[in-house]
Chain A
Amino acid sequence: MKWRLLVLQIATPILAIVFGVVIASIIVLAIGRNPLDVFGVLLRFGLLRADSLLSILFKATPLIFAGLAVALSFRAALWNIGVEGQYYIGAFCAAYVGFGIKGLPVAVHLPLAVLAAGLGGMLWALVPILLKLRRGAHEVITTIMMNYIAAAVILYLIADVFRDPSQIGTPRVRTPEFPGSARVPSMGPLLGLLGLTGPDANKVNWLLIFGLVLCVLFTVLLSRTRFGYEVRAVAFNPQAAEAAGIPNARIQFLMFMLSGGVAGLAGLSDVLGFFGYLDIDFPKGLGFLGISIALLAKNNPLGVVLAALLFGFLDRGALGVQFFARVPKEVIVILQALIILAIVVAYELVTRYIRMQRKREAERPATAPAAAAEAGH
């Protein structure tokens, strides 16, 4: 019995994906295409080409940070919907350190830029969490408001205050370029040694590894340490935690700050790793994708990595499906959303089933004579 549950638990994500594929197949059939063809292209194009793998890695990098940031807040029963704004501010802070300081060695300049991004994200998270803990304002509302403010602030700073003077007169609105000392090195050479070469090879940068390391560290922090234990208690039952002498407000504050700090890093892969300047058109919407990723990952940091890779894969595969299977782009967007939705639903169903089985298991007929006699009739 116990083994069966364990196997089921491991098989859950697979079951969930199968379910997603089935639902998506129905849609594909509905538009008169053969699901086998479409999924064949999706898999072949998405997984069997070196340039696709590189593209997946590049796309997943910022998503790992965004997903991890959201997951961290959810783990503390807080709703950080403000990752979007936090990474705008983080990206700007990193850019400012990038173009504003010259003549530092990489070993100082780059960490400084990354640190600035984290602090920028934290700064943007500080207001909502203080408002929540001090005044009881709900963080969903305040973080959304902070997103609007961040978007406007960034626009103003890039377009009006720090616009690269050399670009004036052109349609490009961006900050000055950073020196090489503030750039995140590419993983291209290393990936080349592994046989992964292609036009995207140089886009993949070391922030990917940094993101993975963060996910591992947070897994350990949340599952093994006293702090993690207290976070769980506060998240699941703040009143019981309070009665046990756990400082609720402090735990929530710290977790929200960590969430904001990680959120601040979400834009770096593009800004420090790829562009080398902060453009007014830098990638937006990562914060909201982060919410989907955190949900899909059940707020598990390692799950975040897998979910981010899945998103990267669906994105890349969609390109292939569009070109080679001639499925309209809109249908592909629907498919992506459906697959994710189906996975979430299937996951929920399986976890519920497991929980029910567990409950039945928990109080096995004990060895006491009374209970034994009971079981007799």
Chain B
Amino acid sequence: MHPVLIELKGITKRFPGVVANDYIDLTVLRGEIHAIVGENGAGKSTLMRILYGLYQPDEGSIEVNGSPVVIDSPRKALQLGIGMVHQHFMLIPRFTVAENVILGSEPAGALGRLRRKEAEQRVRELCRQYGFALDPAAEVSMLSVGEQQRVEIIKVLYRGADVLILDEPTAVLVPQEVDELFANLRRLREQGKTIIFISHMLDEVLEISDRITVLRRGRVVGTVPAAGTTKSQLAEMMVGRPVLLELEHPPVTPGEVRLEAREVTVAGRGGRPVVSRLSLAVRAGEIYGIAGVEGNGQTELVEALVGLRPVTSGRILIEGHDVANASARAIRLLGAAHIPEDRHRRGLVLPMAVWENVVLGHHSRPQFLDGAFVDRKAIESFANERVEKFDIRLSNIDVPALALSGGNQQKVIVAREFSFNPKVLIAAQPTRGLDIGATEFVERQLLEARSNGMAVLLISANLEEVLSLSDRIGVMCSGELVAEFRRGEATPQELGLYMTGTRRAGATSP
């Protein structure tokens, strides 16, 4: 057998305005776990869609087992033994695991009836063969995210794939589930399967893969063996310049309590509480991180804290002033800044110019007004100063915010919210969707703000980020704060147990 299973030669794919894949060469060896890493937009998904027959390359050729092939559909890819595990699960919740697995390739009986028992049997065998913990008769709606992903993998195996493509499979998982996924992937490798694994989390990539190919802006930067490669080497290949991965977290003595929630309850749609009796306190010079699986009330908590959602009961105090159900404006005037989790929806007015967005919410400060008129000169000089300080890359401040990349848009928001020395900063998913460079920048700003005595409430779905930045960590699950730790007290695995609701504890006092 040929040791080279798949060979991509000079694959190029253009979309209007971007070259998503620019003359990519990639060799995948039989039986290896081959990781593909790169920042958002590097072209990883595009390349995989080409290999799975969802896109056609504009140029280049593909060889499987040493012979040239044309993959013009997923069906063709599956015939060649190449299967893709979807990033967004395409399962029918009301069907059982087995029914979902056979969907689309049902074994039909003589009378056209589904041979359900037989299918269930095959699925059961597959699970045993690869050591997957799954009950074929269970309804998918009852499964956790990690289990649903397993169903997707089994689905691909059921169709006879020898090569599995997993596009950012860990993005949706908590640490325990990641561990389990990796164990499963290793077993698949032992049984001779080949795996292409996509991620931009460097720790994971180094842990699971044999070889790593780095993409940057549609091009291959290089392919390296995982053994003997360090995280910072990979990061540098991805970003194109050295990156500081471990930010310094100097000791800061926390000051007085600046932001406090006391037994806050927030109603969601239909009046059911989405945040229930949640209490926490954030001190000056402290970053309080909230960890949790998304959708456990973090969004609603933040909206309540900044005055965008009514509180059903409880008190919210900013420097001792009760601001529960106060207006967003009143809360801002007390010195609370807010980096919203959805920058397009809440953070920016996209068609407005950068200079206008930089003062959004500060625009009524006397220094920016000249009577009833906007003092454009004053705002522009302020905006230019912000652009400089926060290294926002743009041709001029008159361009609309929608013309900037996601990273630069986020920098506009960060630059704005850090202005005028806020006393409290509520930062929701401040680095979501940013590349390594921009992430590093924003995290550094948060730490600097902490050193300057700001009270920072950090809400992030990225557990690594919460762990590396926070002085204290609260875990939210089903709208409640289920545990609270001091920095260094908890491992990611432990946090994962609380995040999934497997374990509960009384919150420690600050």
Contact = CB atoms under 8 A, between A and B. Distances in A.
Contacts of B391: 368
Which of B330, B369, B395: most chain A Cβ within 10 A? B395
A240 B345 contact: yes
Contact of A226 (B329, B345, B364): B364
Given A244-B360, A374-B217, A363 B349 contact: no
Main secondary structure of the interface of B (DSSP, over half): loop
Contacts of B308: 242-243
B328 A242 contact: yes
A323 interface: no
Given A225-B372, A229-B363, A363 B328 contact: no
Contact of B346 (A230, A239, A246, A362): A239
A245 B394 contact: no
B400 A358 contact: yes
Given A240-B346, A242-B308, A370-B240, 20 more contacts: A224-B374, A226-B372, A232-B356, A236-B351, A236-B352, A240-B345, A240-B347, A242-B328, A243-B347, A244-B332, A244-B363, A245-B328, A245-B329, A245-B330, A358-B399, A360-B17, A362-B400, A362-B403, A366-B393, A369-B241
A244 B258 CA distance: 21
Contacts of B408: 363
Nearest to A374: B240
B405 interface: yes
A237 B332 CA distance: 19
Contacts of B395: 361-364
Interface of A: 224-230, 232-233, 236-237, 239-247, 358-364, 366, 368-371, 373-374, 377
B349 A237 contact: yes
A240 B363 CA distance: 14
B349 A233 contact: yes
Nearest to A245: B329
Interface size range of chain B in the complex: 35 or more
A367 to B, nearest CB: 9
B338 A243 contact: yes
A237 B369 contact: no
B327 A362 contact: no
Interface string B281-325: 000000000000000000000000010100000000000000000
Contacts of B219: 377
A112 B405 CA distance: 54
A233 B369 contact: no
B253 to A, nearest CB: 32
Main secondary structure of the interface of A (DSSP, over half): helix
B453 interface: no
B440 to A, nearest CB: 12
Which of B239, B333, B360: most chain A Cβ within 10 A? B360
Contacts of A369: 241
Given A361-B399, A363-B395, A226 B352 contact: no
A370 B345 CA distance: 30
B374 A245 contact: no
Contacts of B351: 236
B338 A368 contact: no
A224 B368 CA distance: 12
Nearest to B368: A226
A218 to B, nearest CB: 14
A362 B354 CA distance: 11
Nearest to B402: A359
7 contacts: A224-B373, A233-B360, A240-B349, A243-B361, A245-B332, A246-B329, A369-B241
A129 to B, nearest CB: 21
Which of B331, B345, B403: most chain A Cβ within 10 A? B403
Contact of A243 (B239, B340, B399, B437): B340
A377 B402 CA distance: 27
B356 A229 contact: yes
A174 B60 CA distance: 81
A237 B356 CA distance: 13
Contact of A244 (B328, B330, B372): B328
Given A239-B346, A370-B239, A359 B373 contact: no
Contact of B240 (A246, A362, A373): A373
B306 A243 contact: yes
A226 B369 contact: yes
Contacts of A224: 373-374
B241 A244 contact: no
B267 interface: no
Contact of A232 (B17, B338, B347, B352): B352
Contacts of A358: 399-400, 403
Nearest to A247: B329
Contacts of B403: 358-359, 361-363
Contacts of B369: 226
Which A-B residue pairs are the 4 nearest by beta carbons? A245-B329, A362-B403, A244-B361, A366-B393
Which of A228, A362, A366: most chain B Cβ within 10 A? A362
A301 B328 CA distance: 32
Contacts of A230: 363
B349 A232 contact: yes
B350 interface: yes
Contact of B350 (A236, A363, A366): A236
B423 to A, nearest CB: 16
B173 interface: no
A377 B219 CA distance: 11
A230 B391 CA distance: 27
A373 B329 CA distance: 44
